[in-house]
A and B are shown apart, each in its own frame.
Chain A
Amino acid sequence: MEYLELLGNAFKYTFMWRALIVGVAIALSSSFIGSFLVLKKFSMIGHGLSHVAFAAVAIGLVLNTAPLLVAMPVVVLVSIFILKLNESANMHGDAAIGLTATFAMALGTTLASVSGGFNLDLFSYLFGSILTIKSVDVVLSIIVSAVVIIVVFLFYYDLFAMTYDEQFATVNKIKSKRLNLILAILTGITIVIGIRAIGTILISSFIVFPTVIAMQFNKGFKSTILIAAASSLVTVIIGLLASFVFDLPSGSSIVLLNGFVFMGVYLYNRVMQTQK
């Protein structure tokens, strides 16, 4: 009863509404992009970029400016850099991500160490805190989410063709390099927007989990994206409410919930397969 009462009270707080709006916006945009990234075997780009975001936030705190304003251009540029490394320098995507992620993490921790004084702030960016979400974050996340959804909608068939078979797409006059660039930019801005609510450590799960969960349903591409978006929405909303009710960190609540959903769907699939 106590928990139900708490749940009822959750909607009375402005910060909770902000968190829910930001969460829904990130859930939609990251699951839309995630479907292409995971299937292009670029799942770990979110992980790499989140480390870069960590370093950028540290720089922002050192410079005493809004950390996300620093993080946005830095993360987008590094996202493009990883893409170009992968395209031109004969470097595999995972190696390019590994390089940039570890370098950025080292930079972030060095800055945190030498500067001191902002460790508490940095901690809230690491694991996310719904209490820190401001009105400007809400507006920004709605705009970013809308841009991502519109771009994916407009380029959907080209993005799908390129994700399935990039060489065939190129032969068919699809501008794969341009699409990869668009995808890199969208990924960068989605990661940055998610930092407030989810934190740099866990934001990459928003890219990977929804698609991997949706893939367990063995559907076509369009259905997989829609299932990924639906799954992401449900886990974000329930995860945020659970974090409020049980006083848990928001990011980890959502990621744990995603993990349980994945295990449930995976096991159900295995059981159904053995019964066939």
Chain B
Amino acid sequence: MDSKHDIIVNNLSVKYHQFEAVKDVNFKVNNKDFIAIVGPNGSGKTTLIKALLGLKSIASGTVLKSKLLSVGYLPQSTALQDRQFPATVEEVILTGRLANKKFPKRYNQEDYAEMIKVLEYLDIVALRKKRIGLLSGGQQQRVLLARALVNKPDVLIMDEPTSALDQSIRDQFYKLIKMLNEEIDMTILLVTHDIASAGDYVNRVIYMDQTILFDGPFREFCEQKELSPFIHTHALRRAKRSEG
């Protein structure tokens, strides 16, 4: 492996019973990459990142990453909708610090200091003692981002993080992620349907439908009209935006 930050995926296949959701996938995530993984519904995007995160077992192939690589994870924004759940923002964010703790796990001064830093960075200090279920969708997403960032990950993996957010909040969100990518050299892996909004921020697009059909810069991605109507629609939207 070239560096601690790289993730190398070789001939990866993942199955749900007999169905091969991810088929013979090969790619390398380099340090400081900002990659959008796109594709139609059921194309295996979420399964792919679940395999990278160790949440789904691999049928064949390998995912090579350094044991020292620290990974932050931001799940789908629709995944956590239990507004009744009695947890404060502070309680939720601090769970991001549990990864490297030894039994019996307890938070220390450093954990609280890191939490305050990330609250300040994401401009949500005022929410610290609030119950997470009472926050707006955009605020909740920032809290979950804070939870993913509080352990200072090398790589941030996100699954449809903006699917439940308004367009204006989406743009703010992507700007924030880009800032993390540029200012603190964080590698970003983003599964999204929303390439029209995310395209301007990423340096690489991976288009997949079970297997990878395209891997390259967004500009080139927009030119691949023959690959799928999915791409063509976004290319048209992008062209319209640049004309406007």
Interface 9-residue window, one of A98-106, A211-219, A258-266: A211-219
Q: Name which residue of chain A comes closest to B130, CB basis.
A: A220
- Contacts A170-B54, A215-B86, A220-B131 aside, 10 further interface pairs with beta carbons under 8 A come to A157-B106, A161-B95, A171-B71, A172-B96, A172-B98, A173-B99, A218-B131, A220-B88, A221-B86, A221-B87
Contact B73 A171 (CB under 8 A): yes
Contact A174 B98 (CB under 8 A): yes
Contact A158 B91 (CB under 8 A): no
User: B75 touches which one: A161, A168, A222 (CB < 8 A)?
Assistant: A168
B 61-95 to A, binary, CB cutoff 8 A, 1 in contact else 0? 00000000001010100011010111110111011
Q: How large is the interface on B (under 10, 10 to 19, 20 to 34, 35 or more residues)?
A: 20 to 34
User: A171 touches which one: B54, B91, B105 (CB < 8 A)?
Assistant: B54
CB contacts under 8 Å to A, within B117-131, are 129, 131
Separation of A222 and B129 alpha carbons in the complex (Å): 12
Contact A161 B98 (CB under 8 A): yes
A164: chain B residues at CB < 8 Å are 80, 85, 87, 92, 95
Give min CB distance, B127 to chain A, whole Å.
Answer: 13
Give min CB distance, B1 to chain A, whole Å.
Answer: 21
Question: What number of A residues sit within 8 Å (CB to CB) of B?
Answer: 27
Q: Name which residue of chain B comes closest to A169, CB basis.
A: B95
B 152-185 to A, binary, CB cutoff 8 A, 1 in contact else 0? 0000000000000000000000000000000000
Separation of A218 and B83 alpha carbons in the complex (Å): 11
A 162-194 to B, binary, CB cutoff 8 A, 1 in contact else 0? 001101111111100000000000000000000
Residue A39 is within 8 A (CB to CB) of chain B in the complex: yes
Separation of A165 and B147 alpha carbons in the complex (Å): 11
- The 7 A-B pairs of least Cβ separation, nearest first, read A220-B88, A161-B95, A224-B86, A172-B99, A171-B73, A154-B104, A221-B87
Contact B106 A219 (CB under 8 A): no
Residue A81 is within 8 A (CB to CB) of chain B in the complex: no
Contact A168 B103 (CB under 8 A): no
Separation of A160 and B82 alpha carbons in the complex (Å): 15
Separation of A171 and B82 alpha carbons in the complex (Å): 20
Separation of A170 and B98 alpha carbons in the complex (Å): 11
A173: chain B residues at CB < 8 Å are 98-100
Separation of A39 and B87 alpha carbons in the complex (Å): 11
Give min CB distance, A272 to chain B, whole Å.
Answer: 15
Give min CB distance, B86 to chain A, whole Å.
Answer: 4
Q: Name which residue of chain B comes closest to A166, CB basis.
A: B55
Give min CB distance, A27 to chain B, whole Å.
Answer: 19
Contact B105 A165 (CB under 8 A): no
Contact A168 B91 (CB under 8 A): no
A158: chain B residues at CB < 8 Å are 98, 105
Give min CB distance, A273 to chain B, whole Å.
Answer: 12
Q: Name which residue of chain B comes closest to A219, CB basis.
A: B86
Separation of A76 and B53 alpha carbons in the complex (Å): 32
Separation of A169 and B73 alpha carbons in the complex (Å): 10
With A164-B87, A220-B87 given, is the CB distance from A157 to B53 under 8 Å? Answer: no
Residue B27 is within 8 A (CB to CB) of chain A in the complex: no
CB contacts under 8 Å to B, within A204-241, are 214-215, 218-224
A153: chain B residues at CB < 8 Å are 104
**Complex A-B: 29 CB contacts under 8 Å:** A39-B82, A39-B85, A154-B104, A157-B94, A157-B105, A157-B107, A160-B91, A160-B95, A161-B95, A161-B98, A164-B95, A165-B75, A165-B95, A167-B55, A167-B75, A167-B79, A168-B95, A170-B55, A171-B53, A171-B54, A172-B96, A172-B99, A172-B151, A218-B86, A219-B86, A220-B86, A220-B131, A221-B86, A221-B88
